[in-house]
A and B are shown apart, each in its own frame.
Chain A
Amino acid sequence: MTTISDPPQESFRPSMLLSDTRYRSITFQVIALALLLTAIWYLGSNLAANLRAAGLNISFQFLGNPAGYDINQTLIPYTSQSTNLQAAWVGIINTLLVSFLACITATIFGVIAGVLRLSNNWLVRKLMAGYVEIFRNIPVLIWILIIYTIMTAAMPAPSAFRGDDPASSMMLGSFAFTNRGVYIPGPVMGPGSFIVVATFVASVIGVFAYRRYATKLLYDTGRLLPMLWPSVAILLVPTIVMFFILGMPIGLDYPALKGFNFQGGIQIGAPLIALWFALSIYTGAFIAENVRAGIQAVSRGQTEAAAALGLRSGRIMNLVVLPQALRVIIPPLISNYLNITKNSSLAILVGYADITATLGGITLNQTGRAIECVVLLMLFYLVISLGISMVMNVYNNATKLKER
């Protein structure tokens, strides 16, 4: 009679690191890690040795020195006497501004073009295909240049608005479109204006509350409340009433031609417009393809089932198809947003003062601190890109298919 028992446990021998599949992968990973660390150490020590030989040292002291140059678009206080660090912050905020604006408009362009590419209308379908193919197959750098050149060459200079019989005049007497930028009326905050602003913010919250209530009512009782008109009313009526009760505390400051330029109001510089528009229309073409792919990934049966329930085609798209398409659309959308942020570093081409133009351009040039500036730039773009990925991944988790 034989008994079957477990084979005797082998004791660990060093040769098992290679021969035993349990340990082999770990062995190779350790070797790879060691090689990687060696390579990093080698490059680092090489850099340090070369810098020492050249008599240079890594120092970030220049960040505290006065920058000495001026910037044309600053959202935070800045003069030529501010520090290089402040100049870098101006650049960071300008980068974030143009990226944020471009992400929003690119999404709008992309969704519209993507949906219309699937339109039943032959002309619309072909037009949108043309837009996608033309814009995504020409480098964004060229688009930025083309749009900026057209703006500066085709729009009138401020001097064209001068004189008794000017060649150009302001639209509605308050908007000026020049080749240096667009000038629009800006708000002037009088006393009590913050109450109006607070009312508006409260109204926005109110709109969301109303929509939430309407959805709940729909799910609980099946009653469908009107959406559009109550929303608009909640948004605008209290603010307007408050505005007049307080005696119109918010006025408008109209731009006017003074000296060489328009003064007053809000100026949106030509570089910002060109960069914003070029980035959105270029990335919009990629997003359009994502949206189309997402919509086509939703099985045709879903549309037919919705149609069988009597939904109109607009509602089918909004309520059935798009929500399901989102889980296909979001992941590539993240990389498109990252692309916009990184492509915004082409800003220097049109003289827009983003972080690459201030810290990585003028500051680098004037201080000669190339390594330090480039390291800071890399860190900034890394942090921003990871931040965007994180936020979008949270959104992705919220929209992805819930498996229960």
Chain B
Amino acid sequence: MKKTVIFGALTVAGLAAGAAGAATLDDVKARGKLNCGVTTGLAGFAAPNANGEWEGFDVAVCRAVAAAVLNDKNAVEFVPTTGKTRFTALASGEIDFLARNTTWTFSRDTDLKFDFIGVNYYDGQGFMVPKALGVSSAKDLDGATVCIQTGTTTELNLADFFRKNNISYEPVPVETNAEGQQQYLAGACDTYTTDASGLAATRATFENPDEHVLLPEIISKEPLGPLVRHGDNDWGDITRWVLNALIAAEELGITSANIEEMAGNTNNPEVARLLGTEGTLGEMIGLDAEWAKRAIMAEGNYGEIFAKNIGEETPIGLARGLNAQWTDGGLLYAPPFR
């Protein structure tokens, strides 16, 4: 008789563990913390500062979600993930939200059972070569040795690019950006390839940045975005619209500095709806009226987050480029808040 009880308890425990994570919003609220997966450290995107606080472009998105859902931008548990562990961590429920410059691809969205909630950085893969090599196009790289970060989509793009152009190369896989930089500077590879933003950031740290050039070819599309588990559409909606709110805020001219003023007296109905002084948008996604206001106040609007972490004033020094608002010729285009 006792045996049956034990087996029954085991079965229940097994099922309970399996059923966890059905409603992510409730879990996050009950826990009082958002578990957010980020990189193990990439300057500008996600890295702890001197005080041990995480900051960066991806971190800001996590904080905005936490502010919207939990009313506290610091109620975030940052979980560092590597290229290898990121998807397992999300699928297993260890993290609720993955913001780790992850490229949105078909198979990741479908086969791996994730939902990308949008794009927070439009990137593309480029090549960096020493000027002394005398190469002016990536198509001249026949027979070259190429340093490449392993386990990323860039690895597949590289193989595709060389196959398409019917030229050969020899890959030197490296684990981290720092290792790639070292190999490249030692001449162990002729060229270093990764996302163009990463190349620019890496070149900025060289002793003589002028001796290296980025080749004109951008060989891939790398839309980097945050993602959540497939199947919990409510949670997907919340995070998607937090990101959209940050983008829309820049378009509408709402900044962390003028947000109180804008909320108080605006005659733009979309601003009023977004900031919760009009309409019931918050209610529709299961949050209160001021969710978007808090998200924007957390780290500022998209433009502020960009400028503070990776913009031209920072050591990373990236131009807005494709990541400008659609009104400025970029690709950022938040759907209407209505």
Identify the A interface with B (CB < 8 A).
38, 42, 45-46, 49-50, 52-56, 68-72, 80-81, 149, 152-153, 157-160, 179-180, 258-261, 263, 270, 348-349, 351, 353, 357, 361-362, 364-368, 370
Residues A54 and B91 in contact in the complex (CB < 8 Å), given A42-B10, A68-B159, A259-B142: yes
- B144 neighbours in A (Cβ, 8 Å): 259-261
Contact call B17/A49, Cβ cutoff below 8 A: yes
Residues A357 and B173 in contact in the complex (CB < 8 Å), given A53-B21, A365-B151, A370-B87: yes
Min CB gap B26→A, angstroms: 15
Chain B at the A interface: SS class: mixed
- A180 neighbours in B (Cβ, 8 Å): 145, 172, 188-189
- The chain B residue sitting closest to A69, CB to CB, is B155
- B: contact size bracket: 35 or more
- B311 neighbours in A (Cβ, 8 Å): none
Mark interface residues in B167-209 (1 if CB within 8 Å of A CB, else 0).
Answer: 0011111110000001100111110000000000000000000
Contact call A349/B175, Cβ cutoff below 8 A: yes
Residues A70 and B14 in contact in the complex (CB < 8 Å), given A260-B144, A362-B150, A368-B108: no
Min CB gap A348→B, angstroms: 7
Task: Give Cα A349–Cα B174 distance, bound, in whole angstroms.
Answer: 7
- The chain B residue sitting closest to A49, CB to CB, is B18
Task: Give Cα A153–Cα B112 distance, bound, in whole angstroms.
Answer: 41
Q: For the A-B complex with A45-B11, A357-B150, A368-B107 known, give 10 more contacts whose Cβ atoms are closer than 8 Å.
A: A49-B15, A55-B230, A68-B156, A80-B159, A80-B163, A152-B182, A260-B141, A261-B143, A362-B173, A366-B151
- A353 neighbours in B (Cβ, 8 Å): 173
Q: Determine whether B40 belongs to the interface, using a CB cutoff of 8 Å to chain A.
A: no
Q: Determine whether B214 belongs to the interface, using a CB cutoff of 8 Å to chain A.
A: no
Contact call B84/A361, Cβ cutoff below 8 A: yes
Task: Give Cα A258–Cα B144 distance, bound, in whole angstroms.
Answer: 10
- The chain A residue sitting closest to B91, CB to CB, is A54
Task: Give Cα A49–Cα B112 distance, bound, in whole angstroms.
Answer: 17
Task: Give Cα A179–Cα B88 distance, bound, in whole angstroms.
Answer: 36
Counting chain A CB atoms within 10 Å of each CB, the highest count among B10, B142, B163, B173 belongs to B173
Contact call B18/A71, Cβ cutoff below 8 A: no
Min CB gap A384→B, angstroms: 22
Residue of A54, A357, A365 near B83 (CB, 8 A) is A365
- The chain B residue sitting closest to A157, CB to CB, is B187
- B5 neighbours in A (Cβ, 8 Å): none
- A270 neighbours in B (Cβ, 8 Å): 188
Contact call A261/B187, Cβ cutoff below 8 A: no
Q: Determine whether B1 belongs to the interface, using a CB cutoff of 8 Å to chain A.
A: no
Contact call B87/A368, Cβ cutoff below 8 A: yes
- B84 neighbours in A (Cβ, 8 Å): 361, 364-365, 370
Residues A259 and B17 in contact in the complex (CB < 8 Å), given A348-B173, A368-B111: no
30 pairs of residues in contact across A and B, judged by CB atoms under 8 Å: A46-B13, A46-B18, A49-B14, A53-B18, A53-B19, A53-B20, A55-B113, A68-B155, A68-B156, A68-B159, A69-B171, A70-B169, A72-B171, A80-B159, A80-B163, A81-B163, A152-B183, A179-B186, A259-B143, A260-B143, A260-B190, A351-B172, A361-B150, A361-B151, A362-B155, A365-B84, A365-B151, A367-B107, A368-B107, A368-B111
Residue of A38, A152, A263, A349 near B188 (CB, 8 A) is A152
Q: Determine whether B229 belongs to the interface, using a CB cutoff of 8 Å to chain A.
A: yes
Task: Give Cα A261–Cα B132 distance, bound, in whole angstroms.
Answer: 15
